């Protein structure tokens, strides 16, 4: 395992920020760590990187305990902290050389050149960090995390505050880098997980509420299916309600309906038959996908009720 978290709890004063958290991340996976503000994402990431100790539980990175082997673990990890702390008065190249020094790396000129190329910093490489746009600052943050060629990347909200173009670029970059590394990235944005990750771990109030492959989330929580269907003429609600498995029928506009049915019923044929009997045609039929966003709401709200 690249990351193994076992029964980790963290108490700040009286506040329980993490409560018996366990999960693992396999080599090569890109895992999204998703949760609302205050859920415990940054706390978990700081414990994995060895910046703060857990109150209870164990964390291993590349089979090494983060408390027993703090230096060896740090060699394996690239960390982009929340809000990307950087030295704004340093020049991009100067800063990257400085980071190489911290890692006691040799042949730093070649490595800095390579990393500048990898993260797409070439045109801005001679500026001061403070002069860069937020998107380029983020690239510098990624560059410093990647310099020592770590196996595992921990990225704490790497896309927060970026404009839509920068967002696409940074997501693309993370995906590209993720082809060769294990990545755990935290976010409170659903689409980000859908766009970049293989798996999602959802945390709410310090507890893991889901841990699933992204493409299997829908099936797990989507108990009902919804179709939108449009006919060439008028039909009544009663005609839909007669179909076995239909839970609700809602007239959404002119001759278009939103039909909800149990996930284990096949009603599409019936929806066509209604048209045939009424001498109408079907202009369109679409199955609605439950968005990860809905699942997230469902999960975090359920957790609140407990």
Positions in the binding site for Mg ion (CB under 5 A):
41-42, 82
Of the candidates 88, 115, 118, the one whose C-alpha atom is nearest the C-alpha of residue 100 is 115
Nearer to ligand ADP, 43 or 166 (CB): 43
* DSSP assignment letter at 130: G
Q: Does residue 12 bind ligand ADP (CB under 6 A)?
A: yes
Shortest distance, CB of residue 82 to ligand ADP, whole angstroms? 7
Question: What is d(CA 57, CA 22) in angstroms, rounded to the nearest whole number?
Answer: 9
Among 5, 41, 95, 201, binds ligand ADP (CB under 6 A): 41
DSSP assignment of 162-225 equals --HHHHHHHHHHHHHHHTTSEEEEEES-HHHHHHH-SEEEEEETTEEEEEEEGGGHHHHH--EE
Nearer to Mg ion, 22 or 83 (CB): 83
* Contact by Cβ (8 Å): 2, 26: yes
Q: Does residue 40 bind ligand ADP (CB under 6 A)?
A: yes
**Partner in contact with 39, chosen from Mg ion, ligand ADP, none, beta carbon below 5 to 8 Å by kind:** ligand ADP
What are residue 256's DSSP bridge partners? 230, 253
Q: In the numeric block, which tokens belong to residue 50?
A: 């060895």
**Partner in contact with 40, chosen from Mg ion, ligand ADP, none, beta carbon below 5 to 8 Å by kind:** ligand ADP
Burial 124-157 (b: 16+ CB within 10 A, else e): bbeeebeebeebbbbbbbbbbbbbbebbbbbbbb
Residue whose beta carbon is closest to Mg ion:
42
Shortest distance, CB of residue 5 to ligand ADP, whole angstroms? 14
Shortest distance, CB of residue 83 to ligand ADP, whole angstroms? 11
Nearer to ligand ADP, 38 or 161 (CB): 38
Q: Does residue 14 bind ligand ADP (CB under 6 A)?
A: no
Near ligand ADP in 266-285, by CB under 6 A: none
Question: What is d(CA 257, CA 230) in angstroms, rounded to the nearest whole number?
Answer: 6
Near ligand ADP in 116-175, by CB under 6 A: none
Binding positions for ligand ADP, rule: CB under 6 A: 12, 15, 17, 35, 37-43
């Amino acid at each position: 395992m690249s990351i193994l978290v076992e029964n980790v709890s963290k108490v700040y004063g009286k506040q329980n920020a993490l409560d018996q958290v366990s999960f693992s991340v396999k080599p090569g996976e890109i895992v999204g760590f998703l949760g609302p503000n205050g859920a415990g994402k940054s706390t978990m990431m700081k414990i994995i990187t060895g910046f703060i100790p857990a109150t209870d539980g164990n964390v291993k990175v590349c089979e090494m305990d983060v408390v027993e082997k703090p230096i060896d673990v740090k060699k394996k990890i690239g960390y982009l902290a929340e809000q990307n702390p950087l030295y704004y008065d340093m020049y991009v190249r100067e800063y990257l050389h400085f980071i190489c020094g911290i890692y006691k790396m040799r042949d730093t000129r070649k490595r800095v050149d390579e990393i500048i190329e990898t993260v797409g910093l070439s045109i801005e490489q001679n500026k001061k960090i403070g002069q860069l746009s937020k998107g380029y600052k983020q690239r510098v943050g990624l560059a410093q995390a990647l310099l020592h060629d770590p196996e595992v990347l921990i990225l704490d909200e790497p896309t927060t505050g970026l404009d839509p173009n920068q967002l696409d670029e940074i997501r693309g970059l993370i995906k590209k880098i993720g082809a060769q590394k294990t990545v755990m990235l935290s976010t409170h944005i659903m689409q980000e997980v859908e766009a970049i990750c293989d798996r999602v771990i959802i945390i709410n109030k310090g507890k893991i509420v889901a841990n699933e492959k992204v493409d299997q989330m829908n099936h797990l929580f989507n108990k009902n299916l919804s179709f939108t269907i449009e006919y060439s003429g008028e039909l009544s609600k009663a005609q839909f309600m007669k179909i076995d498995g239909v839970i609700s029928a809602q007239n959404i506009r002119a001759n278009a309906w939103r039909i909800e049915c149990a996930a284990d019923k096949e009603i599409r044929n019936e929806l066509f038959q209604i048209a045939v009997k009424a001498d109408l045609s079907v202009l369109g039929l679409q199955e609605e996908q439950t968005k990860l966003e809905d699942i997230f709401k469902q999960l975090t709200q359920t957790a609140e009720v407990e």
